[in-house]
A and B are shown apart, each in its own frame.
Chain A
Amino acid sequence: MLVPNLHQATLLAGEIARAVNPGQFIILRVEEDGERIPLTVSDWDREKGMISLVYLNVGKTTQKLADLTAGAALPSVVGPLGNAMEIDSFGNVLCVGGCYGIASIYPIARALKEKGNKVTVVIEARSSYLLYWQERLKTVADRLVVITRDGSQGLRGHIGNLGKIIAGLPSPVNRIIINGCNYLMMRGTQESQPLNIKTMVSLNTLMIDGTGMCGLCRVTVGSSTKFACVDGPHFDGHEVNWEELAQRRKAYLNEESQPFRSSEAQ
């Protein structure tokens, strides 16, 4: 466990480690007949063949994953899936991360930095004890801005302060990338919309196969329906129908949280 309810798993998956690019995800199963869950790849070592995943413990499968001990084997890890985040010379880029997005924004920031961008990383949490990977992020960020709800570290506030943070930066922002829960991404894009700064988000949808086959991950972007797994997961946040995304995300909420409400859950 990295911080309460956020866990890190490091897997030996040589082929994936060599093929993965920033913003891609994998799908894994923890046991035979288990469900398939998508998790973003947050870091990798191509030479050692390792990939790192940071995930929120929200249900039966993530709990089982968190319960595994070092050396355990997973029946399935498939990927890399989805498209890589667009990395180019944008100029000044703001990378925003919350929750597991603090980890998944890291390889994106790293690639942007390598491409010669000025990278400002903004991370947000309720309180300082929920922050992690700050040292790692500092190695790739020109500037690291921390926001906590309770003010225990950095600025007191939340993602709704993004507009103010941008206004306080010495030079104009050319692009924003936000990773985290859908609420964080939605609020962030609401902040950047009036500023007319292109804002990319990495959507979290329900998925089964992750290869375009089932269509469970449908999202409305602009006027068309897209599949987050093969068309995304990165979209222009100003075009995403956030209300629909939030509703679709809840489709199986009852079943997902069932293990935590039953007596067998520890």
Chain B
Amino acid sequence: MPETAPKKIDLRRRDMPKQEPEIRRHNFSEVALGYTPELAVEEARRCLQCKKPFCVSNCPVDVNIPEFILAIARGDFANGARLLKEKNALPAVCGRVCPQEEQCEKNCSLVKRGGQIAIGRLERFLGDWEAAQPPSALQGSQAALPRLPASTGKKVAIVGGGPAGLTAAADLVKYGHAVVIFEALHKMGGVLSYGIPEFRLPKKIVDGEINYLRRLGVEMRVDFVVGKLRTIDSLLEEYDAVFVGTGAGLPWFMEMPGNNLNGVYSANEYLTRVNLMKAYLYPQTITPVKTHQRVAVLGGGNVAMDCARTALRLGAEATIVYRRSRAELPARLEEVENAEEEGVNFKFLTLPVRAIADEHFHVQGLECLRMELGEMDASGRRSPVPVPGSEYYLPFDCVIHAIGNSPNPLIPATTPGLAIGKGGNVVVNSDSNKTSKERVWAGGDIATGAATVILAMGAGRKAASSIHQYLLNPTPW
């Protein structure tokens, strides 16, 4: 074969380098290492640049995906980052935590030709690439801050500094409105800061994205609990509009005896101790988390995987206890596989019915029932049915409930005139995210119940657009 023969283009989707399971299960550093520039360009060159891109129509925030991929393919990362950020204020976050397999990547034309284009990985690549550039390198280039329109003189208050609020803030500031975010915790980011672990979403990435919003001119007030320090009504006296994005912050516990034993946690508590309060660095930091030996995580979603993988890294043996089978796990497959590789145990078709105490009021195990899969239920999954008389005991010194959250009740309880749904959620118009209360919008988990980061961002975007229209041209509510 002559040496000059062109190299055949490899059509396969490029894998992203990861830390080896044996190594990563002992540290809190990020699992996925991200594409190198070479890998990113190779992957981007696979994109067919479809005329009718399904990826864009499946994106909750309408990112112009083919355009930013084309920029990567040409090696123009600065332009790619700019294009991406036009529509998505948090690319480095979304590239990591969005369920791309159910959204942008789902109907990619390449699904059967080497695999769908790795949109999430490319998005992450651009977000990280830009964050790694020294500010001087971005000065004057198109990747620096977008040009903002003249101020409209309107002020918008955003309640809650999570994905919904951050996205709404970014859009509103780009429309020319003054924006203040009120966050209850001491750190911005909501679930991105307290919930999603360091090894899946490094906090410096979150901080970087939030700093970008600060540079855009968004004002942020932490340690500010709206509903306590000031009510929505009081904010409405000072602001032209209010967006409520306070999330699903009230943890559920499975209904069974023994939930108040020591060693029993909500996923929120366990993850907040470790992520927000940095207990994984204890005793260099002050907030501790117990070093348990055998940790049970009840639930099968992404949060459950996060808890189990956190427990592993803290030195415990971790077991997911789930009442259905592997096929019904609501977590992303990627997260399930990561957990399996790292050595998380799975007890499927198992329903805990009671937490059992030792003599020190500490949990020592779970009494469980075996389950069988029965008929299809409303969720389209086969419903689990207990096998009578199948009680058995599993020893655990820690039990984490990761079965979901209700919307945070602080705002609903303190805001007269705000219509509240059956699940405690704020009722919104699905087109505009307007609530029943004049000049108040809401979106994200507070409106939908616990869902995903990107859906909350989509709601923040929709609300921002509606707020903008209303502020320019107030119409009767």
Contact = CB atoms under 8 A, between A and B. Distances in A.
**Chains A and B are bound partners:** yes
Interface of A: 15-16, 19, 29, 33-36, 60-61, 75-81, 208-209, 211-216, 218-220, 225, 230, 244, 247-248, 250-252, 255, 258
B286 interface: yes
Chain B: interface residue count, which band?
A: 35 or more
Nearest to B405: A213
Contacts of B260: 218-220, 225, 244, 248
A212 B249 contact: yes
Interface in B251-286: 251, 253, 259-260, 262-263, 265-266, 268-269, 272-273, 277-278, 281, 283-286
Contact of A36 (B230, B265, B277, B361): B277
Given A34-B286, A219-B260, A248-B361, 13 more contacts: A33-B284, A33-B285, A77-B223, A80-B229, A209-B184, A213-B249, A214-B272, A215-B251, A216-B266, A225-B253, A225-B260, A251-B263, A258-B283
Nearest to B270: A214
Contacts of B273: 208
B37 interface: no
B98 interface: no
Contacts of B408: 211-213
B472 to A, nearest CB: 31
B228 A80 contact: yes
Contacts, number: 103
Contact residues of B: prevailing secondary structure? loop
Interface of B: 184-186, 194, 222-225, 228-230, 249-251, 253, 259-260, 262-263, 265-266, 268-269, 272-273, 277-278, 281, 283-288, 290, 360-361, 408-410
9 contacts: A208-B269, A214-B251, A214-B272, A215-B253, A215-B268, A216-B265, A219-B260, A251-B263, A252-B290
A19 B409 contact: no
6 cross-chain pairs, A with B, having the tightest CB-CB distances, nearest first: A247-B361, A214-B269, A78-B223, A215-B266, A255-B288, A213-B249
B269 A215 contact: yes
B184 A214 contact: no
B28 to A, nearest CB: 15
Nearest to A15: B229
A34 B360 CA distance: 29
Contacts of A76: 186, 222-223
Given A33-B278, A211-B249, A248-B262, A79 B225 contact: yes
Contact of A35 (B266, B286, B409): B286
Nearest to A245: B260
A36 B186 contact: yes
Contacts of A250: 262
A132 B194 CA distance: 40
A211 B253 CA distance: 17
Contacts of B262: 247-248, 250-251
